[in-house]
């Protein structure tokens, strides 16, 4: 019956004034050719005498059949038998916890709704996060809900259950103990004092057991250099906020990697310019690969890795002989033999830095990259000693965690494995088969018993006989030590999603103890509560610690750090210069490969190259010309008797004959996202100083999925900058950057009587770390599109960090600029939308109504800022459970054919309004609403608020002389004000 109606190519229309008896039949043809179609004419004639009764019968049957066929699926509601404490449906709850990576531990706040962790923010009470958070901690939510996680224990790759797995592994350990066979535990660095305590108990329980820590990016050289230079291996805390002169020797302390969170916050404090009376710190970057720190430096010098040690010694010599810094006779004698720089530019740099350091004793700081050689670290200590940094910008009272976790610490284990002396090898976390390469993999296969705990079925898990799933940090109990006197707790925010256990839970079972939580409480009662200087009972202290997430105990006493000149005797300068030098460094997005299956991080652009879903062999244009290759051509790199073929990426600002590689790619197991993404360069070895390499041209060409194909502003005033001296002479330079006729509106300007939301972004503070991009993606359910779509410029990020180069391509200045919807008061996108899907609210927001959008993309074409994103596909259609649980329920999931963009986190604005109304307030207080990007920013470069409130922070920032609007000459009237970039160059180097 319905099919019969569908075959009729007519529509019967009844108007209000027409009676049903006088229905006027109107025939709509599919096309003009249909007018003469005999079949169509036959249908029209056959239905021209359709009676009213027959018509109603057909329509009634159609509605009934349609209703039955579209029955909504049954969804059952499960009531709480016992309502959880403080739970309010639809209202978020926050739990204090800790995120640990390598030897760093940050305090975090986990936002949950109905028992689902949704977003991770920094804990403002924790000294290492201060309310901000880097990308790795934020994106760990993805791993919690990753459908590729390991879910069940396996024995010889067969699915088992925990009872059997624990019974068999404990039996193996007891047998090894009885027969005095070697048991080795290989772990990542752990910041948990309780876990370290259990691992030491394991060593004492099983006499022939040893615990070894290993990290691809370790603190081994730092510890060794402190031991050589000061006779103690502790790593003191750096006070970057107290330094007026900073020198980075391949130290990317602003890069957004582990440990940089506090450094970014402290560095930005001395870069805030509010008036012509403001002072600034000065940053020099001496580096091999292009880093975020180099991009923010007032002066950057690119050197070959082999040149940095000599350059540092030449700086030390200049300090003593040219700047007349006092030093002992032995030290002067050692430095006297150091040759003078042959490069005039190097000479100018050294003299300028020596002059600055000499003028700022106790207010200077020299930083050396973690992976640099022990010798370079010793020279770094010498420089800090000469400018009296110890006890001033270097806090000798407080030590940060550093462990014996490098390649040298691993050498005894590798020897034992090679000699087949190990009976049982336990790997807790990490992925040594991937990071240590083929030799370790071969040794691993010959170990009789291999036991593994991991989050994924990664390369090491697949090679292990007994492999078990590890609980995520958000599913586990734990604790952490961030630095001397700072203790924090890790608490589960939900029951484990799968059949998993934490490393501590398994160790407790092997040791025959009660429970992991009891061990944590025991250690806290003995080691933290006793030092906390509190009158509360331990129960109340424990509850308060869980609530706050951090406990501060008393600071230790001052430690003596007296530089020993004899340490310099081990520093040797290598005169040989390799033809090509290769340097490896951690990935900005997947670190050492542990985050390779995290789609949010894979699609996050590298802040310098803007590459996603890939790694590349970066080199200068001169090096590429020498090799006869162009962008995307493949090259073959040989080093340490290993070779890798990689596509090249021509990177401005690199030294000649230097090739830099990011590690962390080329994974083969551990998920679906990581496969066929980049190449594994860990094959070259575990030293990250530098390698001598042979490079030849390869075959084939590669396309990079980059998010910014054009990196020159072409003279347009997109990013405005000046030197501090220029700003002090002309503080209103930003206002005069563009001259245009008076801007007039065709329509009457709207008056915002209530709130008028706006944002200020300080380009002086922004370091381009991409933490804000990650926060925005997670908060607003921004989909992951994959490499193929990024290649078509279809990435969906609402917020992007634009990177521009200025000046000489071999030594460019670099700037980063966060770019998002400007929420224009005179928005070009609103006038062209044919269905009013994008409109202006009475509070100044450029709002999107998704169910109106028909996908014409006129708005995107008319947006001069190019910040709108179009869903070419339904990217949320094939999300596998439980990944769907990671979605923010306060933000609409967009479908195919829909345009989307930044909303100024309108869901947070609405939440703030509701809270204000419940409290009987008509207006929202300043700072009460914080956008996701603002909340995550470690440098506090982003400020959001009400522009109509003259006392709001954003209104005050907008009045600063440095304020300007990007493309303001178009009369779009953006609600985002950028504060121009100010650099603080040395006059000697500005000639």
Question: DSSP per residue over 381-443, as a string?
Answer: HHHHHHTT-BTTTEEEEEEE---S-SHHHHHHHHHHHHTT-EEEEEEESS-HHHHH-HHHHHH
**Residues 859 and 900 sit within 8 Å (Cβ to Cβ):** no
* Token pair recorded at residue 516: 């992991």
pLDDT digits (tens, 9 = 90+) for 685-704: 766 667 888 889 888 899 99
Other beta carbons within 10 angstroms of residue 260's beta carbon come to: 22
Residue 861 DSSP SS3 = helix
Would you tell me the crossing angle of helices 516-527 and 503-511 to the nearest 10 degrees? 90
Residue 582 DSSP SS3 = strand
**Residues 801 and 256 sit within 8 Å (Cβ to Cβ):** no
- The residue behind tokens 């039949």 is 25
Residue 611 DSSP SS3 = strand
Q: Is the link from the previous residue into 882 a cis peptide, with omega within 30 of 0?
A: yes
Angle, CA of 437, 438 and 443, to the nearest 5°? 110
* Model pLDDT, residue 598: 94
* Model pLDDT, residue 40: 40
Q: What CA–CA distance (Å, rounded) separates 362 from 190?
A: 33
- Cα–Cα nearest to 824, from 759, 910, 871: 759
Q: What CA–CA distance (Å, rounded) separates 849 from 386?
A: 62
Q: What CA–CA distance (Å, rounded) separates 928 from 913?
A: 10
| Helical residues (DSSP H) of 796-839, grouped into ranges | 828-832
Confidence label for 70 from pLDDT (cuts 50, 70 and 90)? low
* Partners of residue 611 on adjacent β-strands: 706
Burial of 172-204, coded b for 16+ CB within 10 Å and e otherwise, reads bbeebeeeebbbbbbbbbbbbbbbbbbbebbee
Q: Express as a percent the part of the chain with pLDDT over 70.
A: 92
Q: What stretch(es) of the chain map to CATH 3.40.228.10?
A: 220-400
Q: What CA–CA distance (Å, rounded) separates 153 from 145?
A: 18
Average pLDDT, integer, range 489-510 = 93
β-pairing verdict for 611-612 and 705-706: antiparallel
Q: What CA–CA distance (Å, rounded) separates 828 from 842?
A: 17
CATH number of 756-984: 3.30.70.20
* Confidence check: pLDDT of 904 > 90: yes
Q: Which residues contact 33 (CB under 8 A, 6 or more apart)?
A: none
Higher pLDDT, 877 or 508: 508
Highest mean pLDDT of the ranges 62-66, 558-562, 977-981: 977-981
CATH class held by domain 578-706: mainly beta
CATH class held by domain 220-400: alpha beta
Confidence label for 381 from pLDDT (cuts 50, 70 and 90)? very high
Confidence label for 400 from pLDDT (cuts 50, 70 and 90)? confident
- The residue behind tokens 């000149």 is 565
Q: What stretch(es) of the chain map to CATH 2.40.40.20?
A: 578-706
Q: What CA–CA distance (Å, rounded) separates 621 from 636?
A: 17
pLDDT digits (tens, 9 = 90+) for 130-148: 899 999 999 999 999 999 9
Confidence label for 29 from pLDDT (cuts 50, 70 and 90)? very low
**Residues 749 and 965 sit within 8 Å (Cβ to Cβ):** no
Other beta carbons within 10 angstroms of residue 980's beta carbon come to: 23
* Token pair recorded at residue 347: 């000479």
* CA atoms lying within 13 Å on the CB side of residue 916: 15
Q: What stretch(es) of the chain map to CATH 3.30.70.20?
A: 756-984
Average pLDDT, integer, range 734-754 = 81
pTM of the model: 0.87
Name which of 157-161, 630-634, 807-811, 905-909 the model is least confident about.
Answer: 807-811
Confidence label for 948 from pLDDT (cuts 50, 70 and 90)? very high
């Amino acid at each position: 019956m319905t099919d019969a109606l569908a075959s009729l190519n007519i529509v019967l229309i009844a108007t209000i004034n027409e009676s049903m008896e006088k229905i006027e039949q109107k025939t709509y043809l599919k096309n003009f050719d249909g007018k003469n179609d005999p079949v169509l004419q036959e249908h029209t004639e056959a239905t021209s005498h359709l009676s009213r009764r027959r018509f109603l019968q057909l329509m009634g049957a159609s509605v009934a059949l349609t209703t039955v066929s579209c029955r909504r699926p049954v969804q059952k509601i499960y009531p709480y038998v016992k309502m959880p404490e403080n739970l309010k449906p639809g209202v978020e709850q926050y739990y204090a916890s800790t995120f640990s990576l390598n030897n760093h531990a940050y305090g975090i706040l986990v936002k949950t709704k109905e028992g689902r962790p949704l977003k991770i923010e920094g804990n403002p009470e924790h000294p290492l996060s201060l309310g901000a958070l880097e990308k790795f901690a934020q994106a760990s939510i993805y791993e919690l809900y990753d459908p590729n996680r390991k879910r069940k224990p396996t024995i010889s790759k067969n699915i088992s259950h925990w009872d059997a797995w624990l019974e068999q592994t404990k039996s193996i350990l007891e047998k090894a103990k009885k027969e005095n066979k070697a048991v080795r535990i290989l772990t990542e660095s752990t910041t948990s004092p309780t876990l370290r305590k259990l691992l030491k108990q394991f060593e004492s329980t099983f006499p022939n057991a040893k615990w070894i820590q290993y990290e691809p990016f370790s603190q081994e050289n730092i510890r060794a250099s402190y031991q050589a230079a000061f006779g103690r291996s502790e790593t003191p805390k750096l006070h970057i906020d107290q330094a007026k002169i900073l020198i980075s020797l391949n130290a990317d302390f602003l890069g957004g990697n582990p440990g940089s969170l506090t450094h970014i916050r402290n560095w930005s404090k001395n870069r805030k310019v509010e008036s012509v009376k403001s002072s600034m710190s000065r940053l020099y970057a001496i580096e091999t690969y292009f880093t975020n720190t180099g991009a923010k430096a007032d002066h950057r010098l690119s050197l070959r890795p082999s040149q940095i040690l000599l350059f540092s010694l030449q700086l030390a010599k200049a300090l003593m002989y040219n700047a007349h810094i006092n030093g002992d006779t032995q030290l002067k004698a050692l430095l006297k033999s150091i040759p003078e720089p042959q490069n005039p530019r190097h000479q100018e740099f050294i003299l300028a830095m020596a002059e600055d350091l000499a003028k700022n004793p106790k207010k200077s700081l020299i930083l050396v990259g973690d992976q640099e050689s022990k010798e370079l670290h010793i020279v770094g200590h010498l420089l800090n000693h000469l400018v009296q940094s110890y006890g001033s910008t270097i806090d000798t009272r407080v030590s940060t965690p550093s462990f014996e976790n490098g390649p040298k610490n691993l050498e005894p284990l590798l020897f034992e494995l090679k000699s087949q002396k190990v009976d049982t090898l336990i790997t807790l976390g990490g992925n040594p088969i991937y990071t240590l390469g083929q030799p370790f993999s071969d040794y691993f296969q010959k170990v009789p018993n291999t036991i593994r705990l991991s989050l994924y079925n990664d390369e090491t898990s697949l090679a292990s006989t007994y492999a078990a799933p590890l609980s995520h940090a958000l599913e586990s109990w734990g604790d952490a030590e961030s630095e001397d006197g700072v203790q924090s707790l890790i608490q589960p925010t939900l029951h484990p999603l799968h059949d998993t256990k934490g490393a501590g839970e398994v160790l407790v079972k092997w040791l025959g103890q009660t429970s992991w939580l009891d061990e944590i409480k025991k250690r806290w009662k003995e080691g933290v509560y006793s030092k906390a200087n509190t009158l509360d009972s331990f129960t109340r202290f424990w509850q308060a610690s869980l609530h706050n997430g951090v406990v501060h105990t008393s600071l230790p006493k001052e430690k003596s750090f007296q530089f020993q000149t004899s340490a310099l005797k081990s520093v040797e300068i290598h005169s040989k210069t390799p033809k090509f030098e290769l340097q490896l460094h951690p990935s900005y997005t997947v670190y050492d490969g542990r985050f390779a299956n995290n789609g949010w991080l894979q699609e996050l652009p590298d802040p310098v190259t803007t590459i996603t879903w890939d790694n590349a062999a970066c080199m200068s244009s001169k090096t590429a010309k020498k090799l006869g290759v162009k962008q995307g051509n493949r090259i073959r790199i040989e080093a340490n008797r290993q070779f890798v073929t990689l596509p090249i990426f021509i990177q401005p600002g690199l030294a000649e004959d230097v090739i830099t590689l990011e590690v962390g790619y080329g994974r083969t197991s551990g998920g679906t996202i990581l496969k066929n993404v980049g190449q594994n360069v860990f094959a070259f070895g575990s030293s990250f100083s530098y390698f001598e390499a042979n490079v030849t041209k390869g075959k084939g060409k590669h396309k990079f999925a980059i998010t910014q194909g054009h990196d020159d502003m072409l003279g347009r005033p997109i990013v405005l900058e000046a030197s501090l001296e220029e700003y002090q002479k002309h503080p209103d330079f930003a206002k005069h950057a563009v001259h245009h006729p008076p801007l007039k509106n065709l329509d009457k300007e709207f008056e915002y009587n209530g709130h008028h939301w706006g944002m200020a972004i300080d380009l002086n503070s922004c370091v381009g770390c991409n933490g804000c991009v990650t926060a925005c993606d997670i908060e607003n359910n921004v989909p992951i599109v994959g490499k193929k779509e990024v290649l078509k410029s279809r990435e969906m990020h609402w917020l992007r960090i634009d990177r521009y180069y200025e000046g000489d391509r071999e030594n460019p200045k670099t700037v980063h600029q966060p770019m998002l919807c400007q929420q224009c008061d005179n928005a070009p996108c609103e006038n062209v939308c044919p269905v009013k899907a994008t409109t202006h609210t009475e509070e100044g927001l450029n709002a999107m109504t998704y169910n109106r959008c028909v996908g014409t993309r006129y708005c995107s074409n008319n947006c001069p800022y190019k910040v709108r994103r179009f869903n070419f596909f339904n990217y949320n259609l094939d999300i596998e459970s439980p990944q769907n649980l990671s979605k923010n329920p306060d933000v609409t999931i967009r479908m195919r054919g829909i345009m989307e963009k930044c909303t100024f986190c309108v869901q947070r604005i609405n939440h703030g309004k509701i809270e204000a109304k419940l409290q009987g307030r008509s207006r929202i207080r300043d700072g009460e609403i914080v956008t996701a990007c603002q909340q995550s920013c470690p440098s506090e470069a982003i400020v959001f608020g009400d522009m109509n409130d003259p006392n709001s922070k954003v209104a005050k920032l907008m009045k600063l002389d440095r304020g300007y609007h990007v493309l303001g000459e178009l009369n779009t009237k953006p609600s985002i004000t950028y504060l121009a970039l100010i650099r603080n160059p040395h006059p000697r180097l500005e000639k």
